[in-house]
């Protein structure tokens, strides 16, 4: 049972995990204010729309999950209560916090561990479609995390921490034996009467769901990049327009921090005095940075921030104003006073390189092609929409006209398909599409455009017993085999607990760390395993439902840790996080009692 579960390299890794709350990292949906009732439900000022559920479903499916719409909706509902509650507590996340979070996020770091702006933009475009949506989601994510930190503030005793260590990390020496249902299949009595009865009791399982077969055309800007041509004249022109913003340069600054409006005028006056001195003596920049700068991370280095290209990296670290200013300066030049949300800055640029045409030609070529591809993509989408509207009975004429390929779904597709985006399914299952079988309008999903047309539509229908008899037989035998296996396993469990000898092919005894197996086990099975605690030197037994087989488990002993365990400090943090989860659930329950909800005109499911 346990051999396939990979062990953690160090127990401390378990204790330093993130808070296990389902909506953290869920793929937050951008709630919006709405003055009409075009939503499913309003929670205070937060609204949840069917489009929010669709997007969350797509996010989860792309991550490999298969959640139900009800599960996703309930998670979004909890998230809405958290966001509304955070606002009521005055929890606000600033732009600076968001920028710092982005810079610190290792997913956006290059191989050297440094923030990579190009990587950031690539991930954002691929995952979110645009930077604006990502920033909105990041603000909400940090708001929720700030709330979690607020709710989770408290203390944990050594005794509580020790309980955590023993519950999560104390090795349990156990062995197991599978009770395989297939071994009981030969004992199942099969006859038409039994099959008919099983069919009548499980008719809902044999309903043929509503489905469609469809054809589609799919394209994106990436599909058009290779088709774009760029002349030398266009490259020369682009280089001339952006020469001063290209290449890399080393940037240093002196920060005069202004924390409030009252001190801002005085701080600016001081910055202007230093700027005037540097205008006459630019070589004193490093000296004055050490003397005046409030940036503790760079002042001792003469204000040096590092080397940057104009791709948003410096803007993410400081501000867009500072980046745009830095890329107007020549090598060795010092700026005047530049204002930002942090206060006032004086910049100096040095080591400008890579701003010649030869070194930038490939980059310019790619940028121009990408820009042309986006323009061509928008035009193609509009032109294809016009053409497919005028010849609405088939996609092929329009596809042939624009050199595109018509693809077919081939198999029947239901409303629950994980292979087709939710927005496309909504169009396919609209009554107009199913009855008229005309070409759809453009459907844009994550930067790609779909045009679809229903070829065949199948209504939901009950399947006759004779039509599904073979499947009924398979299901009946499997169900009965499971019942017989469970009955036999429960008898064995009772005998083992009574101290009777039972001949079983036990696996070798293994040392099992609970935290290592929890994620690989159903919650009920894990609870049963944890409840099996040996007493008075006698083993404890449990029956675990580990599909596809039941597992009889014998826990022989538990090696508990003592108070001298070196993991105690980490365990305290982990115990505090567990306490936070309970507080969060209580907070949401409290918000349900305080915040009014209002039903909108939308329904959760598209077919309703």
Would residue 361 count as lying in a domain?
A: no
**575-599: average pLDDT:** 76
Residue 605, in any domain of the structure: no
* 548 lies in the same domain as 488: yes
Cβ atoms of residues 482 and 193 within 8 Å: no
Of 459, 487, 507, the one marking the end of a domain is 459
Q: How far apart are CA 134 and CA 141, in angstroms?
A: 10
CB atoms within 10 A of CB 326: 27
Q: Is residue 563 part of a domain?
A: no
What whole-number distance in Å separates Cα of residue 181 and Cα of residue 548?
8
**Distances from the Cα of 9 to the Cα of 6, 12, 14, 295, angstroms:** 9, 9, 9, 38
What 3-state class would DSSP assign to 312?
coil
Token pair for residue 86? 């955070």
Structure confidence by residue, pLDDT tens digits, 88-128 = 888 878 877 888 888 878 777 777 777 777 777 777 776 66
pLDDT in tens, 472-529: 999 999 999 999 999 999 999 999 999 999 999 999 999 998 878 887 888 889 889 9
Q: Considering only residues 175 and 25, tell me which one the structure prediction assigns the higher pLDDT.
A: 175
Q: Say if residues 309 and 247 touch (Cβ distance below 8 Å).
A: yes
Mean pLDDT of 358-364: 84
CA distance 515 to 536: 25
Tell me the mean pLDDT in the region 51-76.
79
Based on the fold, state whether residues 141 and 51 are members of the same structural domain. Answer: yes
Q: Copy the structure tokens of residue 418.
A: 């994980």
Query: How many distinct structural domains can be found in the chain?
Result: 4
> Which of 36-40, 309-313, 430-434 holds the top average pLDDT?
430-434
163 confidence band (pLDDT: 50, 70, 90): low
Helix axes 131-151, 95-104, angle to 10 degrees: 100
Distance from C-alpha of 93 to C-alpha of 135, rounded to nearest angstrom: 11
Q: Domain of 316: which CATH number?
A: 3.10.50.40
pLDDT at 215: 97
Query: Do 119 and 179 fall within a single domain?
Result: no
Supply the pLDDT for residue 155.
52
Angle 69-88/568-594 helices, nearest 10 degrees? Answer: 90
Which residues sit opposite 456 in a β-bridge?
Answer: 213
Last residue of a domain, one of 437, 459, 481: 459
Same domain, 345 and 377: no
Helices (H), 31-155: 50-62, 69-88, 95-104, 117-127, 131-151
Average pLDDT over all residues of the chain: 83
Angle of helix 131-151 versus helix 117-127 axis, rounded to 10: 90
The distance from CA 94 to its chain's CA centroid, rounded to whole angstroms, is: 22
Distance from C-alpha of 32 to C-alpha of 54, rounded to nearest angstrom: 15
Helices (H) and strands (E) in the chain, counts: 22, 18
Instruction: For residue range 528-552, list pLDDT tens digits in order.
Output: 999 999 999 899 999 999 888 899 9
Task: Please give the residue range of the domain that contains residue 503.
Answer: 171-206+467-558
Positive or negative, the CA dihedral 355, 360, 363, 367 is positive
Residues 554 and 594 in one domain: no
State residue 506 phi and psi, 5-degree precision.
Answer: -65, 145
pLDDT of residue 30: 40
422 in Cβ contact with 57 (< 8 Å): yes
pLDDT digits (tens, 9 = 90+) for 204-257: 999 999 999 999 999 999 999 999 999 999 989 888 877 666 678 899 999 998
Choosing from 404, 438, 459, the residue where a domain stops is 459
Average of per-residue pLDDT across 8-21 = 28
With beta carbons less than 8 A apart as the criterion, state whether 559 and 143 touch.
Answer: no
Q: Are residues 142 and 36 in the same domain?
A: yes
Residue 460 pLDDT level (bands cut at 50, 70, 90): very high
Return the bridge partners of 543, or none.
Answer: 552
Residue 254 lies inside a defined structural domain of this protein: yes
Report pLDDT for 19.
Answer: 25
What is the model's pLDDT at position 574?
Answer: 58
Residue in the block written with tokens 């909706």: 73
| Buried b / exposed e along 300-314 (16+ C-beta atoms within 10 A) | eebbbbeebbbbbbb
Provide the percentage of residues in the chain whose pLDDT is more than 70. Answer: 83
Closest CA to 515 of 165, 122, 144: 165
**Residue 564: phi, psi to the nearest 5?**
-90, 10
The predicted-structure confidence for 258-314, as pLDDT tens digits, reads as follows 877 778 889 999 999 999 999 999 999 999 999 999 988 899 999 999 888 877 778
Which range among 44-48, 269-273, 556-560 has the greatest average pLDDT? 269-273
What is this structure's pTM? 0.51
The answer on 74 and 140 residing in a single domain is: yes
What pLDDT is recorded for position 78? 87
Q: Is residue 326 part of a domain?
A: yes
pLDDT at 528: 92
pLDDT bracket for residue 575 (50, 70, 90)? low
Domain holding 580: CATH number? Answer: 1.10.4030.10
Distance of CA 393 to the CA centre of its chain: 39
Q: In terms of domains, do 318 and 295 share one?
A: yes
DSSP state letter for 109: B
Q: Determine the average pLDDT of the residues in 78-83.
A: 86
606 within some domain: no
Least confident of 38-52, 53-67, 291-305: 53-67
Q: Tell me: pLDDT of 6 over 60.
A: no
Within its chain, how far is the Cα of 240 from the centroid? Answer: 41
Q: Are residues 484 and 423 in the same domain?
A: no
Whether the predicted pLDDT of 438 surpasses 60: yes
pLDDT score at 395: 97
- pLDDT grade for 590, boundaries at 50, 70 and 90: confident
Share above pLDDT 90 across residues of the chain, in percent, rounded to a whole number: 47
Give CA–CA dist 214/454, Å, rounded: 4
The span from the CA of 385 to the CA of 450, in Å, is: 10
Element (H, E) at 386: helix 357-390
- 215 Cβ partners below 8 Å, 6+ apart? 395, 406, 407, 408, 409, 452, 453, 455
Tell me the three state secondary structure of residue 460.
Answer: coil
Query: By three-state DSSP, how is residue 567 classified?
Result: coil
Q: What is the pLDDT of residue 87?
A: 83
* β-strand partners of 452: 216
31 and 120, same structural domain?
A: yes
pLDDT band at 315 (very low <50, low <70, confident <90, very high): confident
182 lies in a domain? yes
Same domain for 539 and 478: yes
Q: Are residues 184 and 304 in the same domain?
A: no
Provide the angle, in degrees to the nearest 10, between the axes of the packed helices 131-151 and 69-88.
70
Residue length, the chain?
608
* Torsion region of 437: left, alpha or beta (phi above 0 gives left; psi -120 to 50 gives alpha): left
The C-alpha atoms of residue 150 and residue 166 are separated, in whole angstroms, by 27
pLDDT at 32: 42
User: Per-residue pLDDT averaged across 581-596, rounded?
Assistant: 80
Separation CA 73–CA 265 (nearest Å) = 50
Q: Looking at the domain assignment, is residue 485 inside a domain?
A: yes
Among residues 515, 549, 557, which one has the least CA distance to residue 175?
A: 557
**Rg of the Cα atoms in the chain:** 32
């Amino acid at each position: 049972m346990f051999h396939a579960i990979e062990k953690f390299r160090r127990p401390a890794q378990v204790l330093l995990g993130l808070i296990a709350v389902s909506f953290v990292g869920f793929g937050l949906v951008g709630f919006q204010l709405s003055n009409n009732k075009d939503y499913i439900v309003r929670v205070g000022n937060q609204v949840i729309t069917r489009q929010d559920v669709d997007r969350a479903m797509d996010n989860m499916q792309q991550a490999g999950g298969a959640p139900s719409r009800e599960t996703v909706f309930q998670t979004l509902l909890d998230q809405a209560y958290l966001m509304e509650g955070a606002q009521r507590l005055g929890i606000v996340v600033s732009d600076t916090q968001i920028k710092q979070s982005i810079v610190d996020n290792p997913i956006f770091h290059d191989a050297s561990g440094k923030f990579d702006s190009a990587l950031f933009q690539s991930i954002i475009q691929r995952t979110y479609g645009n930077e604006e949506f990502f920033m909105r989601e990041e603000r909400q994510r940090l708001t929720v995390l700030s709330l979690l930190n607020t709710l989770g503030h408290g203390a944990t005793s050594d005794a509580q921490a020790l309980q955590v260590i023993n519950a999560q990390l104390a090795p349990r020496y156990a062995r197991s034996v599978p009770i395989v249902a297939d071994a009981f299949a030969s004992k199942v009595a099969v006859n038409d009467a039994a099959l008919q009865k099983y069919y009548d009791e499980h008719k809902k399982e044999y309903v043929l769901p509503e489905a469609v077969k469809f054809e589609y055309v799919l394209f994106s800007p990436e599909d058009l990049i290779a088709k774009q041509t760029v002349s030398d004249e266009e490259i020369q022109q682009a280089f001339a327009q952006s020469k001063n913003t290209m290449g890399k340069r080393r940037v240093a600054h002196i920060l005069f921090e202004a924390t409030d409006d009252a001190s801002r005028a005085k701080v600016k006056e001081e910055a202007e005095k230093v700027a005037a001195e540097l205008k006459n003596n630019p070589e004193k920049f490093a000296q004055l940075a050490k003397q005046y700068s409030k940036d503790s991370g760079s002042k001792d280095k003469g204000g040096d921030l590092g080397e940057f290209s104009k791709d948003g990296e410096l803007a993410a670290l400081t501000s867009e104003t500072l980046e745009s200013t830095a890329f107007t300066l020549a090598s060795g030049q010092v700026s005047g006073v530049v204002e930002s949300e942090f206060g006032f800055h004086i910049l100096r640029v040095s080591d400008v390189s890579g701003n010649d045409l030869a070194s930038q030609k490939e980059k310019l070529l790619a940028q121009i092609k990408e820009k042309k591809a986006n323009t061509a993509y928008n035009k193609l989408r509009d032109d294809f929409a016009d053409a497919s509207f005028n010849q609405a009975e088939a996609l092929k004429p329009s596809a042939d006209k624009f050199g595109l390929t018509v693809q077919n779904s081939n198999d029947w597709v239901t409303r629950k398909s994980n292979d087709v985006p939710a927005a496309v399914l909504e169009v396919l299952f609209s009554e107009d599409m199913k009855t008229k079988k005309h070409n759809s309008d453009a459907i844009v999903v994550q930067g790609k455009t779909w045009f679809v047309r229903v070829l065949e539509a199948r209504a939901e229908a009950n399947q006759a017993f004779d039509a599904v008899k073979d499947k009924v037989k398979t299901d009946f035998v499997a169900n009965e085999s499971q019942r017989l296996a469970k009955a036999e396993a429960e008898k064995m469990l009772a005998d083992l607990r009574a101290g009777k000898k039972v001949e079983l092919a036990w696996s070798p005894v293994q040392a099992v760390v609970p935290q290592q197996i929890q994620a690989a086990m159903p919650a009920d099975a894990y609870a049963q395993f944890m409840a099996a605690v040996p007493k008075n030197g006698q083993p404890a037994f449990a029956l675990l439902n580990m599909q596809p087989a039941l597992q009889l488990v014998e826990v022989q002993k538990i090696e508990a840790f003592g108070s001298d365990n070196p993991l105690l400090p980490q365990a305290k943090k982990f115990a505090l996080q567990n306490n936070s989860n309970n507080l969060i659930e209580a907070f949401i329950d409290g918000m349900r009692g305080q915040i009014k909800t209002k039903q909108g005109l939308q329904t959760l499911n598209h077919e309703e």
